[in-house]
Amino acid sequence: MIEITLRKSETGIYNGFLVEGHAGFDEYGRDIICAAVSAMVINTINSIEAFTEDAFEADMAEDGGRIEFKMVSDISKETELLLNSLVLGLQGIETQYGNQFIKLL
């Protein structure tokens, strides 16, 4: 199962996340849930880097299915939108496939 811990600031704005595990929906290389989550998370990180001046830290360990991301600067409206979009997409996957494969915490 993929567990995603969403982190928020004191004002309720998403400011980080931790993704751990593998969905187990299908065999390695054919798991559409893992592929979707990975694509969404990596695209969000790349978009924040490309389209904003906001500073963040990211740590990835491909073998364990682990990605940790956290903002280390103030969050611009663009980053806030990108993180909200990520959460919306992850919630959609969780709703469609069930939390035996993906769980947002």
Higher-confidence position of 26 and 65? 26
Whole-number pLDDT of residue 16: 97
Contact 14, 7 (CB under 8 A): yes
Q: pLDDT digit string (tens) for 20-56?
A: 999 989 988 899 999 999 999 999 999 999 999 999 9
pLDDT category, 64, cuts 50, 70, 90? low
Whole-number pLDDT of residue 27: 87
Architecture of domain 2-104: 2-Layer Sandwich (3.30)
Q: pLDDT digit string (tens) for 90-100?
A: 999 999 998 89
Full-model pTM = 0.93
Q: How far apart are CA 3 and CA 21, in angstroms?
A: 6
Placement of tokens 């360990």 in the chain: 61
